[in-house]
Amino acid sequence: MGDDRSFYIENFGCQMNVHDSEQLAVLLKHDGWIPVMEPDGAAVIILNTCSVREKAEQKVFSRLGRLRELRNGRSPVRFVIAGCMARAWGRKLLKRLPFVDLVVGPGMLSQIPTYLRKLDGGSRPIVDIRDPESVFCVPSNWIENPGIHSAWVTIMEGCDNFCSYCIVPYVRGRERFRDSEQIIEEIGALVAHGVREVTLLGQNVNSYRSRNAGFPELLRQIQAIDGLVRIRFTTSHPKDMSDELIQTVAECSKLCEYMHFPVQSGSSRILARMNRGYTREEYLGRVDRMKALIPDVALSSDFIVGFPGETEEDHRESVSLLEAVAYDNIFIFNYSVRTGTRAAEFPDTVPPDVKVRRLEDLLQRQRRIAMDRNQALIGETVDVLVDGSAKRGNGMWTGRTRQNRVVNFSGQARPGTLVPVRIESASPNCLYGSGSG
Ligand code: SF4
């Protein structure tokens, strides 16, 4: 590889991967590597991949096809496939893509600098998709000024739930948790670098437990960190949303009144086939409890449409649940088969046109609900944590409310400050107003 120590990371998939890529970049920089923003000319190209849907994998294959041409023009370039797809495919990736040098599962990212040295020393291609024992994160004292006021902090990784459609437990491994002391130290370091809001990250944060804290206790410890203004967390599993956790969110002033609370289906029959561990009634019971204890709570959710065996009646139950909860936002996915999961063996598939119709149906209804909820805020004043200039600017600023609603506003502001904004108009996805900062 000579003296060229430049690396380029391209990310695919979820927020967990985005954060892993950020941490991997810090790790490589500490090993003397230099990040570059474009793949052209990079000595090492790393794709941090996703395999949650077949489409995500196809995207990686087609991207690699294009990136490979870089090697034809200028040698040598090392290709690294990291993340969930690496874990799902393992050595088979080398057969399909013989120009790849390194295949590393999501739990083994910390080994990448070592493997790059081995490759420099003449090693043959390396595959490491072992089960991880800990959560991938860099030491707190390596944290640089992220130049942002809002940061992600991984508190756990992996999943023990085995929802029948999901590949995550197979590729990310079983649940493992960071020590609460380590988490507190990392957030303290971030706050010292100007961060004001943290989002705690994990496949199922509600099941967090360490030697000396469960999740509610961890939240109370984070609440006590001076200088931190807002705390969020994702993703919550409805079956693990305890009364104690809801009470904690209600009592801790820094915990935002926003919860991503993925239901997946409104039909208890489909939920059982999905192995979600709760019924429609239990889910709605948790929602009622949150609404009772946390005034102004805003909820978002994920729905899967066209799960094997989903009938029109099951779909109507998803519709009625969506209407009953009145979410602020939802993410809807067409069911897609993942080889190796239990649902891959379910025979009664739903035709693609029916999936599209059901998806559109939920989407249209949600647009109306979101519009009504946003319009109800016209005339109110909300606290906005300022992200920066609005994309389609005109001198406007953008930020988020405690309920995670995006607000574009005029007036004086600085990124990272809290500004009271009077709401003047609304669309389904955004509020508009004037700030009095
Ligand atoms: S809770 Fe279910 S959907 Fe979420 S990561 Fe675990 S298995 Fe997948």
DSSP string, 281-336: HHHHHHHHHHHHHSTT-EEEEEEEES-TT--HHHHHHHHHHHHHHT-SEEEEEE--
Residue 68, pLDDT above cutoff 80: yes
Q: Cα separation of 437 and 431, whole Å?
A: 17
Closest atom of ligand 1 to 237 CA is 1
Q: How confident is the model at residue 391 (pLDDT cuts 50, 70, 90)?
A: confident
pLDDT at 2: 47
CA distances from 15 to 20, 48, 203, 337 (A): 8, 12, 10, 22
Residue 211 burial class via C-beta count within 10 angstroms: exposed 0-12, middle 13-18, buried 19 and up: exposed
Is residue 203 within 6 Å of ligand 1 at its C-beta?
yes
Q: Cα separation of 70 and 39, whole Å?
A: 8
Residue 59, pLDDT above cutoff 90: yes
Say if residue 119 is in the same domain as residue 162: no
Say if residue 106 is in the same domain as residue 200: no
Distance between Cα 191 and ligand 1 center (Å):
31
Number of domains into which the chain is organized? 3
What is the domain-level CATH number for residue 398?
A: 2.40.50.140
Q: How confident is the model at residue 388 (pLDDT cuts 50, 70, 90)?
A: very high
Residue 394 lies in a domain: yes
Residue 1, pLDDT above cutoff 60: no
Q: Cα separation of 279 and 163, whole Å?
A: 14
Say if residue 222 is in the same domain as residue 331: yes
pLDDT at 123: 87
Is residue 237 within 6 Å of ligand 1 at its C-beta?
yes
Distance between Cα 332 and ligand 1 center (Å):
15
Mean pLDDT score across all residues of the chain: 93
Strand partners for 151 = 198
Residue 326 lies in a domain: yes
Say if residue 360 is in the same domain as residue 223: yes
Is residue 167 within 6 Å of ligand 1 at its C-beta?
no
Say if residue 347 is in the same domain as residue 389: no
Largest pairwise CA distance in the chain: 67
Q: Cα separation of 359 and 364, whole Å?
A: 9
Say if residue 114 is in the same domain as residue 79: yes
Is the whole-model pTM more than 0.75? Answer: yes
pLDDT in tens, 250-306: 999 999 999 999 999 999 999 999 999 999 999 999 999 999 999 999 999 999 999
Say if residue 180 is in the same domain as residue 37: no
Q: Cα separation of 419 and 400, whole Å?
A: 10
Residue 134 lies in a domain: no
Domain end point (choices 375, 396, 420): 375
Residue range 347-355: mean pLDDT, rounded: 92
Strand ranges, E, within 314-390:
329-334, 381-389
pLDDT at 144: 74
Residue 375 and residue 398 in contact, taking contact as beta carbons nearer than 8 Å: no
Residue 247, pLDDT above cutoff 70: yes
What is the domain-level CATH number for residue 287?
A: 3.80.30.20
Residue 158 lies in a domain: yes
Q: Cα separation of 13 and 297, whole Å?
A: 27
Q: Which residue has the higher pLDDT, 202 or 68?
A: 202
pLDDT in tens, 218-228: 999 999 999 99
pLDDT in tens, 300-327: 999 999 999 999 999 999 999 999 999 9
pLDDT at 69: 79
Q: Which residue has the higher pLDDT, 141 or 214?
A: 214
Say if residue 412 is in the same domain as residue 358: no
Distance between Cα 53 and ligand 1 center (Å):
13
Domain end point (choices 360, 375, 390): 375
Residue 368, pLDDT above cutoff 50: yes
Residue 240 lies in a domain: yes
Say if residue 358 is in the same domain as residue 428: no
Strands of 258-260's sheet in order across: 258-260, 298-305, 329-334
What is the domain-level CATH number for residue 19?
A: 3.40.50.12160
Q: How confident is the model at residue 182 (pLDDT cuts 50, 70, 90)?
A: very high
pLDDT at 436: 81
Whole domain around residue 424: which residue ranges? 381-435
Kindly state the tokens that stand for 367. Answer: 């647009």
Say if residue 340 is in the same domain as residue 198: yes
Say if residue 368 is in the same domain as residue 430: no
pLDDT in tens, 410-436: 999 999 999 999 999 999 999 999 998
Distance between Cα 159 and ligand 1 center (Å):
6
Residue 178 lies in a domain: yes
DSSP character at residue 257: S
Residue 141, pLDDT above cutoff 90: no
pLDDT in tens, 28-44: 999 999 999 999 889 99
Say if residue 341 is in the same domain as residue 402: no
Is residue 14 within 6 Å of ligand 1 at its C-beta?
no
Residue range 120-128: mean pLDDT, rounded: 92
Residue 1 lies in a domain: no
Residue 135 lies in a domain: no
